[in-house]
Structure 1
Amino acid sequence: MDAIQISHYAGALYRAHGDKAEVEAARRARECEERGRLSEAQDWRSIRAAIHSRRPPRQS
């Protein structure tokens, strides 16, 4: 999956799941890994990283 596709999926996942999108991407990565779909799991980890980089910093 290229960077444009990752960005597209990250945006769609964030619109669908809001603040829980990062957790959802991690869950999907784990499921793919358990099923032996390592390439797909890496894509989901990349999507998770893209979501994380878009989020504003947490305030304390």
Structure 2
Amino acid sequence: MDAIQTAQYARALYSAHGDRAEAEAAQKMRECEAAGNTRQAKDWQSVRQTIRQIRGPNQG
């Protein structure tokens, strides 16, 4: 997943889930890791980090 796609996923997830978006991305990351999908897990980790940036400092 490229940077543009990561940002789009992060914005969509944040719009849909608000403050729970980061937790949702973390859950997806864990599910992918458990299934052995390391590439997808890395993508979800990037989405999670982007959500953290969207939320800004001191938001969790």
Q: TM-score range by the shorter chain?
A: over 0.9
Find the counterpart in structure 1 of residue 56 from structure 2. 56
Q: How does 1:28-47 map to 2 (within 5 A)?
A: 28-47=28-47
Which structure has the larger Rg? Answer: 1
Query: 1:7 — aligned with what?
Result: 7
Question: What's the CA shift for 1:56?
Answer: 2.4
SS at match of 1:36: coil
Q: TM-score, normalised by structure 2?
A: 0.93
In percent, how many aligned pairs have the same letter?
56
Following TM superposition, the consecutive aligned residue runs of length 4 or more in structure 1 with deviations greater than 4 angstroms are none
Q: Calculate the TM-score normalised by the size of structure 1.
A: 0.93
RMSD: 1.2
